[in-house]
Amino acid sequence: MANFLNQSDIINGYISSGDEADYIDSDVDYGDDDISDGAIIGSDDEEFEDDESADEEPPARRPRTNDVPAPDITHDFIKGQDLNLTRIPFSGTPGINIRNVAGLTPFGYLQLFLTTTIMDMMVTETNRFALESPRSENWENLAAKDMWRFLSLVIIMGLAKRPRLSDYWSQKPIYNIPIFGKTLSRGRFQRILGRLHFVNNADQQNEPQNRLFKLGTVYKSITERFKLVYTPMENISIDETLSKWRGRLSFRQYIPSKAAKYGIKAFVLAEAATGYVYCHHIYTGNEKDAAAAAGMSITENIVMCLMFSLLHLGYKLWMDNWYNSPVLAKRLLNARTHVCGTLRSNRKEVPKLVQKKENNTKLKKGESVTYSSDKVMVGSWQDKKPITMLSTMHANCKPVNTGKTTRDGENILKPQCIQDYNR
């Protein structure tokens, strides 16, 4: 793990959850990031086991993503016809899945995710790596309390930035944070930082192609905890995050639209209302075969894998045009899931008249056109630029009153699908 984390990055690292505009006023290609031609993991169908989950109510197992029937992609879109909506009732049970949480302290809530089992893994592997390293005679074995102290200081570093690591232990009034010296000495903190480890290196020969091997079971266990602890409400969304990283890494991404620009990209499924991260997967760039094996495109496989445990429950999924397509919309409908979002007009199966190169009748500002086919609506609305939408929960793309007015007192009109997407 020492190769994944250094002193500078602890101080300067942060996660950007996306800095695109939260509204639509043009046909911007949201999500058109510099991502190499790779795919995400296959179905996550392994049960999670933890000796501390006795009070938990794990979600019911769902069919594998590749068990969802493949859609019929022979769309016959009809221009000007409203979609004959079929409302899928929401049957999920959102909320906290842990009993007796009312009296928990903030630290108690943190322990719902960083369990004793996970902490023990981190302590064991850090001690193992330290004793296998040169100058191991200077190492004092960690206990769980030491790891908690270390992590607490790392969290504070993310809240109170300092130019250098040593500044956190500085006695200068401008830098001084007394809790650091009271919690761990600077030398002890640096020794833990330099040997922090999550996995036994000897096991790497069993997984030579796994680029996330160094994160070991710890990463998988933490992401599973997020699924077990809380079930999201009806509206959910999928997007990317970028964790700042400028070190050497084969799957480091450059995304100029993000604040961090360089870093580790991850695909995230989150609850729309709160931003709670339900599912998280780091993109490594070498999982291309997974999509082919599942008989899906790369973006389809990403979405279906992130949605794995929430399929067949009537969720409403919101996503941008990097993911959206008529084929994916049909596949999600087959899994009893609604979808809505922006759409790239040149995507496969998009009606030809919507595609800019085929559109002979240019829309005037405020005008729209609707196409529908077999429970999928594709519409285009002319704002400053044309905006293309796909939805299985809206009948058309006709402008309706937003309840707002211009400076001149005129009603502002916008399609309901765009209004809902912007919320």
Domain ranges of the chain: 7-60+75-94+232-422, 106-205
CA-to-CA dists, residue 404 to 22, 24, 394, angstroms: 17, 16, 21
pLDDT digit string, tens, across residues 333-347 = 999 999 999 999 888
Q: What's the confidence (pLDDT) of residue 25?
A: 39
Q: Is the predicted pLDDT of residue 53 greater than 80, yes or no?
A: no
- Using a pLDDT cut of 90, give the percent of the chain over it: 55
Quote the pLDDT of residue 75. 62
Using a cut of 0.85, tell me whether the model's pTM lies above it: no
Q: How much is the mean pLDDT over the chain?
A: 81
Asked if residue 357 has pLDDT above 70, the reply is no
Nearest to 271, CA basis, from 229, 215, 221: 229
Q: What is the pLDDT of residue 127?
A: 96
Single-letter code of the amino acid located at 398: K
- Sign for the CA dihedral angle at 339, 344, 348, 350 comes to positive
Contact 366, 413 (CB under 8 A): yes
Q: Mind listing the pLDDT tens digit for each residue in 278-316?
A: 999 898 886 677 787 778 888 899 999 999 999 999 999
